[in-house]
Each structure stands twice: as structure tokens, then as C-alpha cells.
Amino acid sequence: MSGMELRHLRYFVAIAEERSITRAAERLWIAQPGLSTQMRRLESELGVKLLERHTRGVDLTDAGRLFLERARATLDAAELACATGRDLQAGIAGTVRLGVASEAPPRVAPSLLGAFGRDRPDVEITVVESYAGTLLRDLRDARLDALLVPSAYASADLRSLPLGSEPWVVLAGSRHRLASRETIDVRALDGVPIVVTGHRDGGGYDRAVATMLAELGISPVLRRGGAGPALHQPVAAGMAVAVTTSSAAAGAELVVRPLEPGRRLAFSLLWRDEAPAPALRELIGIAEAETAPARPMPRPALTPVA
């Protein structure tokens, strides 16, 4: 088995660059006789002569020149590997798998992902969109690292960071009778079919819609929407409306109207581990900075007037 180590490559490169074992020994802060012995052992192990020794120093043989090229490449690769380890530990490299609730994606998601991409360009972030319940299961099973979901999905076994809230709005097809109103009084929703996911993994969101409307005195008529991206298809067709957040609205055939009286849906970033991996820790830190309230500018002191 080869006894060659990275230090032997460093010794050889120093000798090749200095063209002198004596000067290389001074550069490496090791004794010259020991360095000479190490080079003879290296040549013996390789079975080729690397150095032509003479009174003025050393010259590289043909084999030495080839070995120098490969030794430098090996040392560069080793340094890159060490740097990768340092970057992973510092959270400036690595991977993060982030889930985003498709039934009500938080508006903060694009700005958070944009800021994270600018600050940590070498971290590979994979975004998975699905029902919040599906994402929650994947988080607990370690298939995801963190989630952006309504805060109602937070639980005692998970860590959470509040990301703020968004107003509930009414989503209607452009030809629906409610689309012509500037704002929609909640009482106008009485008896109107309201789209929900109707999916077991969207149940938390469906309950949030029903609970919010019930608190406002409306007994909602809930109707199951399309699957996944087709959730609001009945809305576009004018057969129902949706009560959601504006960040969930998409499509030229849909209009967004404020709900009166106003109510808001809170969102959070959820993750599993008390001590998250470095890359995830960086994402959490950027999320905290993105959602922190702006500090008011200090008011200038008044100058006394005589």
C-alpha cells in the first residue's frame, strides 16, 4: 500500500519551485537532510527519478515535470475539498429542501428565496410545492428541511419562525356577479359555493377558511376544487368563489377583491431540528432579517434657537 501523503507532494512542489532542496527546506521550516531523505523515499516508491541533483541545486527530470503537474492538481483538489468542508460548516454551501404550501403560498416566499440566492449562491435550494399536510409529513420524515405554510400547521414538535400575515381576499371569476364589486362584504358570501381543497392534506387550510367565515357569522357552502394547480378552476368557470390570500391568486380570468370586515392568515417557517444544519441555519437567519420590522430612523435633534 502506498505511503505517499499530501505532505510529500508539498515537499516536492516546494523543491521544484525553489530548484534547491536547501531553499525548499528553509521555506518549509524543516531540516534539509530530512527533506532529502523524504524525496529519495518518494522516488523509490514511484520507481522513477524526479530530480537531477547538482552542486547548484536540482533540476526536474522528464518524469519530475509530469509529476509536478499532477502533484499541483492533487494539492489543488485537496484544498478545494477542504474549502468545501469549511463552506458546508459555515452554511455558504450545501443543500436545502424547502416546501411551500400550494393552497396558500405566503407572499414572503419569492423575496426570501431571492435574498437567500443572492447571499448564498452556492447553496442549492430545492422548492417543493404541495398541500401543506403533505409537506408536513415529508418534513417529519426528513424528506424536507423546512416549510413555508400557514401558522396553523405549527406544532410542539417543530421549531417555527413567524413570517407575518396576509389578508384574506375573495377570488372570483371575471364574469361572476361578485367580480364587479370593489370590496366584498362577507354577508354576500352567504349561500355562495366556496372552493376548498377537499383533500385530506389540505384539511388544515380548509378548516381555516371555514373557521374564519364562521367567526364572521357565515355558514359557508364548501365545494371541492380541482386537484393541485387546478384548485381554482371552478372559480375561473364562474361556478364558485374562493376565500384565500392574494398570493394564491393566478390566472387572467380571476379577480381579487378585499373581504370586509378584514381578517388575516398568519404564515410561519417550520423546521424539525433544534440545531439545524448550517445551510438551513442561514436560511432561517435570512428569513428573520427579511421579516424583522424596519427600525425607525432616528429623529434629528432640534437646534436651540436663541
Question: Residue 297, CB half-sphere, CA atoms under 13 Å: how many?
Answer: 3
- 1.20.1050.140, 3.40.50.720, 1.10.10.10, 2.40.160.40: which CATH number matches 6-89? 1.10.10.10
Cβ atoms 168, 212 nearer than 8 A: yes
Q: What is the pLDDT of residue 159?
A: 93
Q: Which of 46-60, 182-196, 239-253, 254-268 has the lowest mean pLDDT?
A: 239-253
- In the predicted model, what is the mean pLDDT of the chain? 85
Q: How confident is the model at residue 299 (pLDDT cuts 50, 70, 90)?
A: low
Q: What is the pLDDT of residue 162?
A: 94
Q: What is the pLDDT of residue 306?
A: 41
Q: How confident is the model at residue 259 (pLDDT cuts 50, 70, 90)?
A: very high
Say how far apart CA 261 and CA 215 lie, in whole Å. 11
Q: How confident is the model at residue 302 (pLDDT cuts 50, 70, 90)?
A: very low
Residue 104 has pLDDT above 50, yes or no: yes
Q: What is the pLDDT of residue 102?
A: 86
Cβ atoms 132, 149 nearer than 8 A: yes
Q: How confident is the model at residue 208 (pLDDT cuts 50, 70, 90)?
A: very high
Amino acid occupying residue 211: T
Say how far apart CA 284 and CA 271 lie, in whole Å. 9
| Residue that has been written with the C-alpha cell 432616528 in this structure | 298
Tell which residue, 137, 135, 171, has the closest CA to residue 150: 135
Q: What is the pLDDT of residue 250?
A: 64
Cβ atoms 96, 146 nearer than 8 A: yes
Residue spans per domain, the chain? 6-89, 94-269
Percent of the chain with pLDDT over 90: 35
Cβ atoms 288, 161 nearer than 8 A: yes
Backbone φ and ψ of 283, nearest 5°? -60, -40
C-alpha grid cell for residue 248? 394564491
What digits encode the pLDDT tens for the residues 143-158?
Answer: 999 999 999 899 999 9
Cβ atoms 43, 11 nearer than 8 A: no
Return the ∠ at Cα 78 (arms to 73 and 81), rounded to 5°: 125
Residue 120 has pLDDT above 90, yes or no: no
Q: What is the pLDDT of residue 251?
A: 66
Say how far apart CA 131 and CA 204 lie, in whole Å. 10
Torsion of CA 110, 141, 124, 245, to 10 degrees: -10
**Fold type of domain 94-269:** D-Maltodextrin-Binding Protein; domain 2 (3.40.190)
Backbone φ and ψ of 184, nearest 5°? -120, 115
Residue 39 has pLDDT above 70, yes or no: yes
Percent of the chain with pLDDT over 70: 88
Amino acid occupying residue 7: R
Residue 93 has pLDDT above 60, yes or no: no
Q: What is the pLDDT of residue 301?
A: 52
Q: How confident is the model at residue 305 (pLDDT cuts 50, 70, 90)?
A: very low
Cβ atoms 178, 170 nearer than 8 A: yes
Amino acid occupying residue 229: P
Residue 205's H or E segment, with its range, is helix 203-215
What digits encode the pLDDT tens for the residues 211-238?
Answer: 999 999 998 899 998 887 788 889 988 8
Residue 103 has pLDDT above 90, yes or no: no
